Amino acid sequence: MPQVLSKAVGYVDWQGVIRSAINNPSRFLGNAVICYFAAWYTIRLCRSLAVQGVVGTVKYIFRGASGFLVRQMRFMPGTGGIIDKEVQKTIKSIEESMKVPIPNDVPHNTIPDQGVSDQVILEQMERRRNAGEVDWEDGMISGVVYHGGKDMVELTNKAYAMFNVSNPLHPEVFPGLRKMEAEIVQMVLDLYNGPPGSCGTTTSGGTESIIMAVRAHVVWARNHRGIRSPNIVFPVTAHAAFDKAAEYFNIEAIRVPVDPKTQKVDINAVKRCVNMDTCLIVGSAVTYPHGVADDIEALAQIAKKYKTGLHVDCCLGSFVIPFLEEAGYPAPAFDFRVDGVTSISCDTHKYGFAPKGSSVVMYRSAELRHCQYYTITDWPGGIYASPSIAGSRPGSLIAGCWAALMKMGKDGYLKSCRDIVGCRIKIQEVIEKMPELYVIGDPCTSVVSFGAHEPHNIFSIMDAMKSRGWHLSPLQFPECVHLACTLLTVPVADKFAKDIRDSVDEVKANPEKFAKGSAAIYGTAVAIPDRTIVSDICNGFIDSLYAV
């Protein structure tokens, strides 16, 4: 290739180019701009062909063109106003849905002029705690609350109280807290077969663990490989936190398709996408949408070949996937035993049953963990150093996590793995026997995702399930729903089997009954080619969270 480029450059009449630029600068500049955009679009087209193939590229171009036309319509007199009016109408309906009535509730938009008594405060908090129609304790909700039992809640509440004012930013003041945090990291490393020299830190959740892992690899690639324009390569099914990290750090995100049948990352597409600026490859064990484990061993081979990092996102697999083999279920390769894996994220606040706001990010070496840290040595306030994004952190969360790990023990987690995965398998088998439905991919832990064959609409079925008390999670690309089983789901697995059958029969008998519900909302959202419209609605949703 360099020889071909050298010959091509040699054939250019550079004197003619210079004369043209001097004699007709506007024309020269116009041609240069055209060439630049032509080259830019050609590179994008070649990359899309390499990653998505011809069919995928055609869909990409069509969707991009459709999105461009819709965006232009938003600036046109008449049509733009109609579109924006519909967007605002949708946002308004979202705001109204957030206003859940709370009996005898008193609004507080300013700090009270005088302090309120403990009794009044606790009474109002109790009313607000019981607000809403969703009863998560009945086990008919997908994920959300990863409940370890009432005894666990009582224990972690006591741990909260004991360390309520503690802050790990000051280990000299709270040495016992420092020790508990260090032990949490070591316990999780042991679970994931960390080799000698492996290490990690706690974080506030899976998103921060992922963001920290991306930062560490970006810094390592800059320091050790001289990469100044890094990119990360990850499946489209990887957690959105990888996109978030790429935007935060202004690095290129290369999204790779998955096999439409297995929903595992397309290994050949990864090979085509990795280049000398790649600082990190990503695999999931398991994915949030479909509960599928990517081929980590194949990704590790690519990572070793290109001398780049490989992060395995086990935030959802957490304390289930490490116990699969011992529980008697098929277990994929996922941890540090795979040569080439450089970092792993694991959420202790999911199936570890720790209080919300707790996760661990692990590294194969201390050198890589150092790239996560932030230090400043010439600040007038003193030398400042922190392991993750936060400075001050709630020690109560660390205490609650430590207490949960100690209470459960490996035997407790092994039992919960058997119960939860057994529940998922039971529900999956029910779905697979129904001709109207089909399971997405090959789930291996707690999540089962399923869609509906034509002419049935999966979101109508979701609404029919909601009328029976079930709250499933809607997904897109492809359109489907999923259920993340927890210990609370285990006792109601038989009820799910009956309700899903009754829901499908109800939608078949009366397809128009739920046509204007989620089927219309999510079906429209998926079909909108201009994703900025969906983003505007998302912004409106977030705004509504802060409406008083």
- The strand pair at 231-235 and 278-284 is best described as parallel
Q: Does residue 1 carry a pLDDT above 50?
A: no
Other CB atoms within a 10 A radius of the CB of residue 270 amount to 26
- What pLDDT digit, counting tens, does each position of 224-283 carry? 999 999 999 999 999 999 999 999 999 999 999 999 999 999 999 999 999 999 999 999
CATH for the stretch 158-407: 3.40.640.10
**What is the per-residue pLDDT for 526?**
63
- The answer for 169, left when phi > 0, alpha when psi is -120 to 50, beta otherwise, is alpha
Overall residue count recorded for the chain in this entry: 548
* CA distance linking residue 239 with residue 336, whole number of Å: 20
- What pLDDT digit, counting tens, does each position of 339-362 carry? 999 999 999 999 999 999 999 999
- Between 500 and 137, the higher pLDDT residue: 500
Could you tell me if 331 and 325 are in contact, meaning their C-beta atoms sit under 8 angstroms apart?
yes
- Between 208 and 74, the higher pLDDT residue: 208
Cross-sheet strand order for the sheet of 480-484? 437-439, 447-452, 480-484, 473-475
**What is the per-residue pLDDT for 482?**
95
* CA distance linking residue 50 with residue 150, whole number of Å: 52
What one-character-per-residue DSSP string does 224-267 give? HH--SS-EEEEETTS-THHHHHHHHHT-EEEEE-B-TTT--B-H
> What dihedral angle (degrees, nearest 10) is formed by the CA atoms of 485, 399, 203, 482?
10
Q: Mean pLDDT across the stretch 148-163?
A: 92
**What is the per-residue pLDDT for 73?**
58
Beta strands in 116-238 (DSSP E): 199-203, 231-235
> What are the beta bridge partners of residue 484?
447
Could you tell me if 460 and 481 are in contact, meaning their C-beta atoms sit under 8 angstroms apart?
no
DSSP state of 546: T
167-171, 252-256, 422-426, 540-544: least confidently modelled range: 540-544
* CA distance linking residue 428 with residue 492, whole number of Å: 14
What one-character-per-residue DSSP string does 359-384 give? EEEEES-HHHHHTT-EEESS-TT--E
Q: What percent of the chain has pLDDT over 70?
A: 83
- Between 201 and 146, the higher pLDDT residue: 201
Q: Does residue 523 carry a pLDDT above 80?
A: no
Print the SS3 string covering 487-510: CCCHHHHHHHHHHHHHHHHHHHHC
pLDDT band for 6, please (50, 70, 90 cuts). very low
What tokens appear for 548 in the block? Answer: 């008083």
pLDDT band for 4, please (50, 70, 90 cuts). very low
- First and final C-alpha spacing in the chain: 62
* CA distance linking residue 24 with residue 118, whole number of Å: 81
pTM of the model: 0.85
What tokens appear for 257 in the block? Answer: 């398709």
Q: Mean pLDDT across the stretch 192-219?
A: 98
Q: Which amino acid is at 256?
A: V
Could you tell me if 317 and 286 are in contact, meaning their C-beta atoms sit under 8 angstroms apart?
yes
> What are the beta bridge partners of residue 265?
258
4: helix, strand or coil: helix
Q: Which amino acid is at 118?
A: D
* CA distance linking residue 543 with residue 94, whole number of Å: 10
Closest C-alpha to 187, from 360, 395, 443: 360
> What are the beta bridge partners of residue 506?
none
